[in-house]
Every structure is written in structure tokens, then in C-alpha cells.
Structure 1
Amino acid sequence: MAAERALLSVRDLSGPRVDPDRLRDVSFDLPQGGLLHVHGPSGSGKTTLLRLLARLAPSASGEVWLDGAPMASFPAPEWRRRVALVFQEPSVLEATVRDELESPARLHGRTVDVEALLGSVGLDVGPERDPSRLSGGERKRLTIARSLAVDPDVVMLDEPTSSIDPERREEVHALVRRLVADGLGVLVVSHLVEDLEALPGPVLLLGAGRAVRSTTTEAFLAEAAP
């Protein structure tokens, strides 16, 4: 069977030397329609990795390719459209749910079917609803929908289920499975074992800014079991 084609490839990526949580020499491949967990304790470099991949911080060395093309060949706005970062704390910027989804699409010269997009993330709220009045889990899914409004290839989720109750957490897990099934590359950064249990797949373990090793959720959970 042919090997999966890498959608996002990272080789020997290191963060800026002035960063106290500096990332050093991290490599991995994320295939199209694939899921990768990045797991590690606080200060292990998870957030730094996301910032580097989203072009929110300069790298000191290393290479990143998207669909075979180097990061430097993309204008920054186009790269951030195709490699979307969903931050840990879901922020709302607009007065209505509709505006939250249409504004990023307009920035990239696109239109969006708001109702269809809300349905795709399992969010049953009216387009004219004030997003600041949504629950934490609803805001989390709205921010994911906002990233999907610009038609990305890769979605990076920073602690997607933190600070939400177990029922809402499963809704986010179901959404991640749907994104993978739809052919996106999904990178999940989390410190929660529950995310690994719900979303089987490869795991990149970080520690002190380095890739400690690559494993699978099954192997990691077996090792962590008492």
C-alpha cells in the first residue's frame, strides 16, 4: 500500500533563541485527512510550535512545507488561511454569529454559507445571536467554524477541550473526527489524557522544547495506566 502523502511536513524546526520555552529540532509529517496529537507538560514548547507553524513567530532554523511547497513561498496571509490556528481561549470579535463567520471570509475574497457552516460544526444557534452570550463549548465550536470559513488545508487546535464540561468535550471530539473525515489535516495540542482517549492516532511527545519521541495514543495510554 502506498505511503500517505504528507500535507504538512516539518523538519528540524527550532524557535527563536530569545524564547524561554524555545523549541528545538522538531520534525513530523501530517498527512491529508490525518490527525496528530502534540502532547506534553506546560513549558514543553507546544504553544511555541503552534506560533511557529502559524507564522506568528520567526523560526531560528528548520523547514516547513505545505503540500510540497516551502513556507517561504506563501504570502503570510495565504499561509494563515491554509494553516489555520484556533487559539485556546475562544474570543469573539463581532456583534453577531453571522459576522463572526463572514468577516474572515470577506478578508480572503470569499463567501460563506453561514447556516451550512454552523451545521458542519454541530452548532445549533441563530446567525443573528450575540456570540458573547454563547457557552464556552459553543464559542469553541464557533471559533473552529470561523477557521473553516476560509477553507483551510490544516487546522491546528490549541487545547480544544480545556475549560468545558465532559458533554461539550465530546461534541468537540466529534467535530475533530468530522474534520479528519473531510480530508483536513488536524493537529491537536493538548495536555488532557481524555483527548488522547477519544481521538486515537499518532502522538508527538514534547519535553523541554524537544521532541522526546513519537508514539501512538494506544501505546501512550497503556504506558500511563497504573
Structure 2
Amino acid sequence: MKKAAILIIGLSAMYSAQASDNLQRICTAGYQDDTERFEAQTLSTSAGDLKVINDRQTGLQWQFCPLGQQLSADQMSCTGDATIVRDTSSQMGAMASQAVLIGNENSRLGTQQHAWRAPNVNELMSLLNPACSPALFASLGYPKKTLAELKALKAIADDWHHQPDEIRNQANSVLVNHTSLYFVSDSWGDDEQYAVISFSNYNFNLVEEIYPNHNGHANYQDHNIWGGFLRLVREIP
């Protein structure tokens, strides 16, 4: 895959919802969600209800929850820990690991036709919403941690004296993914790792408390050091 130009998106005029201990969505002043583009649908499967989002603009159907999470009882959010898809030591190894995860999901849902798959980087970019932070449309669920959970992860990641490297690296990986909101594609960057999109904009109120004065942006990256979350897609049946 050719190296793509980095997409830099800043949010200049922001407003914030009432403070809470959950990651908040903040948007540019005057922004209104597109109520025509996305349609929510609930599919009944042998594994339980599956909420999907139909994108009328692209003709794609997305799983509402990232891989590993489950739909909440009120079907408005996602529960549990999302799976962080990691690269292995080779391109083939990483592709095999991702294929196993997707195969398991299709088997769990009993999907034979219109099987779920990983998005390519252009499909993933179609979900990037530059007007808001997180830089996702409101119709889509995303993994969340509270401020207390993020601070606990950072404390472990920074504890060089008492925590083994494996524990610190694991905590840092989870922290980075939840604050950067990395989502992986099936496309490859120049360094033979999955291309990822960061959907964070680093403008969540709580993320700024973890990384004060950080000026990160939602962007495309052709490499993936920490892995990322995976949202499965297919063409609308």
C-alpha cells in the first residue's frame, strides 16, 4: 500500500457537555448529527441480538460494537473489554491472527452469506468525523474507560520500579488504545504492519487530564505499534 498523506484535523471551537467520569463527546459549535445517513438495525442471532449500523452513503453495514464487546441491555452502548488486535512478528502471522478472530465471529453469529470482514483503510476513513471528538459519528459505539481506570493504567505503565516490563507494557498498550482510539484495517503500511486510524482528536475532557496540553489529532497512520480495536464490516445485505 502506498504511503498516504497524514490527515490532520483540529477542533478549534469546542463545547463540552456536563463533566462526568466517562469519556465525553465534544463537537464544534453548531454541529448537528446527520440523522439521514446512518440507520440502526438489530439482528437476531443464535448468539443474541447484534446491533448494526447501515451507512446509506457507502452501502456498508458496520457492527455497532467493536470486536470483543457486547451490546448493553438498553442497546445504546457496549459493555465488556474490546479486543486489541496486535501485530505479530510477520505480516502473515498478523493476517492469520486477524483471520482467526473474524472467523470466530462469523461462526458465533452463524453468518454464511455476506460474511463479516475487516475494513480496508478507505472504508475505515469513511467513519472519521472531523467535527467531533471522539472523531466518530454518534451512531457508532466505541470502547470507553473512566478517568479512574485511565489513571490506574497510567500509574502501572509509569511504575518502572515495582512493575515487571510485561505488566507495564500491557497497561500502556490498553491506555494508548483507549486514549488514541486506534482502529485497525486490513491494509498494510510500509513497515508491514496494519494501517490504523486514530479517532481520538485528544480533545476528550478526560484524556486531557491524562495527557495535559496534548495537541494530538485524529489521523491516518501507516504503522501500528500498539495494535488497535477492530470494527467488522460487510456490504449491506
Fold match (TM-score > 0.5): no
Q: Structure 2 length normalisation: TM-score?
A: 0.32
Structure with higher helix content: 1
